[in-house]
Chain A
Amino acid sequence: MAGLSGRMSTVFKAKVSKLLDRTEDPGETLEYGYQKQIELLQNVKKGIADVVTSKKRIQMQSQKLEQQVVKLDTQARQALSQGKEELARTALERKTVAQSELQSLDQQVTELESQQAQLTEKEKVMRQKIEAFRTKKEVIKAQYSAAEAQVKISEAASGVGEEMADLGLAMQRAEEKTENMRARASAVDELEQAGAFDDITQLGPGQDDIDRELAELSSGSQVDDELSKMKAELGSGGGESPALEEGRREQQA
């Protein structure tokens, strides 16, 4: 096959022959296989620990963002009921950014969980293949002439080698995903530090840059839609919330 699978197969075959060439006797591949499996197993464990750490961090971020979403929504309503449409718009823009961050964080966590499950499963298969190889090697040695046995054992070793190459690939992909997730978490931290999800009551002078950026980040139409929906809701209810009245009295005092 010439396509993607052909290319993939070629690369795998090269990797397997590299694995097998390390030893003159394919039977020794078993020893090499064990050694390699122990290394991989350690990597898998480390990889899973990394995933769990990153996942916890992401989940904490998610909770914080969820709270911000609720708060910003409330603030938008309050601002609007006071007739401060620009402030309401700012709050909704921030809410939109926080929501889209939340979504992508959740997606990453789900993806990593499936990688983790896949790795655990593959590791189990690898153990079984190695065990089968050990048994098969002895059977072949007993049943065939030396030359034939060499060929048969080589064939079986290729099967183990392929499984090893595949586990190595799964491991590498999981590591990349964890790395991506870390980068994502740092990006959210930076946004947060820049004040992207800040309480709008904290807004003071000098916040113009972040507001402009946020306006660009969040989709204008979504904010517009939400704003008009909110206006309609408030229009039917009317009046200002007591909390805001109180706040204003405090300001005047």
Chain B
Amino acid sequence: MIVRISGEGQFELPDADAERLNELDNEAVAAVEAGEEERFHELWREMLDLVAADGRAIDDDELIESDVILPPRDVSFEEARGEFTGEGLIPD
């Protein structure tokens, strides 16, 4: 599984991590919806730590599409809360 941390680059992760990443991701969404900012940042750190611990950084001259793209490390709670489209995190 290829994971990109937006702003940082791509990592190759064992497929076994997909489930854990997905769990954390869904928990992060739940935290955002519940307005739990601290919890959100905790989960976010955990996700990035998982990618850093298990992932192998993809070389800069490798051309490969990511299966999953994580928002930037410094994503703010407001950005996470807004849609990641249009006026949100990613411009048109």
Contacts from A to B (Cβ < 8 Å) = 1-9, 11-12, 15-16, 111, 118, 122, 124-125, 128-129, 131-133, 136, 155-160, 162, 165-166, 168-170, 172-173
Contact partner of B63 (CB less than 8 A), chosen from A1, A2, A124, A156, is A156
A172 near B91 with CB under 8 A, answer: yes
A129 to B61, alpha carbons, bound, how many Å? 5
Q: Given A162-B4, A166-B7, is A8 in contact with B61 using a C-beta cutoff of 8 Å?
A: no
Q: Report yes or no: A169 in contact with B7, Cβ–Cβ below 8 A.
A: yes
Contacts of B67 in A (CB 8 A): 9
Q: Does B13 contact A (CB under 8 A)?
A: no
- Say yes or no: A131-B61 contact (C-beta < 8 A), given A3-B29, A5-B68: yes
Q: Does B53 make an interface contact (CB < 8 A)?
A: no
Contact of B22 with A1 in the complex, beta carbons under 8 Å? yes
Chain A residues in 8 Å Cβ range of B7: 118, 122, 166, 169-170, 173
Residue-by-residue, is B57-92 near A (CB-CB < 8 Å gives 1, otherwise 0)? 000111111111111101000001001110001110
CB pair A166–B63 under 8 Å, yes or no, is no
How far is it, in angstroms, between the C-alpha of A166 and the C-alpha of B80 when the chains are bound?
17
B59 to chain A, nearest CB (A): 9
B62→A7 contact, CB < 8 A: no
Residues of B within 8 A of A12 (CB): 4, 66, 69, 90
Name the A residues within 8 Å of B22 (CB-CB): 1-3
Q: Which residues of A contact B25 (CB under 8 A)?
A: 1-6
Give the residue of A1, A7, A132, A155 whose beta carbon is less than 8 angstroms from that of B84. A7
Is there an interface contact between B63 and A5, defined as CB atoms closer than 8 Å?
no
Counting chain B residues whose Cβ lies within 8 A of the other chain, the interface size class is: 20 to 34
The residues of B that contact A111 with a CB separation of less than 8 Å are 74
Within the complex, the shortest CB–CB distance from A86 to chain B, in Å, comes to 39
* Contact among B60, B63, B71, B74 with A8 in the assembled complex (CB-CB below 8 Å): B71
Given contacts A4-B70, A136-B63, A166-B7, 4 further A-B contacts (CB under 8 A): A2-B25, A9-B66, A118-B7, A124-B60
Which residue of the partner chain B has the closest CB to A136?
B63
Query: Given the complex of chains A and B, what is the CA–CA distance between A133 and B8 in angstroms?
Result: 20
- Whether A4 lies near B80 (C-beta < 8 A) is yes
**Cα-based distance from A155 to B65 in the complex (angstroms):** 7
A44 to B80, CA, bound (A): 25
User: Given A5-B68, A132-B61, A166-B6, is A11 in contact with B84 using a C-beta cutoff of 8 Å?
Assistant: yes
Contact status B65-A168, CB under 8 Å: no
Q: Which residues of A contact B85 (CB under 8 A)?
A: 7, 11
B9 is an interface residue with CB less than 8 A from chain A: yes
Is A132 within 8 A of B63, CB to CB?
yes
Residues of chain B within 8 A (CB-CB) of A122 are 7
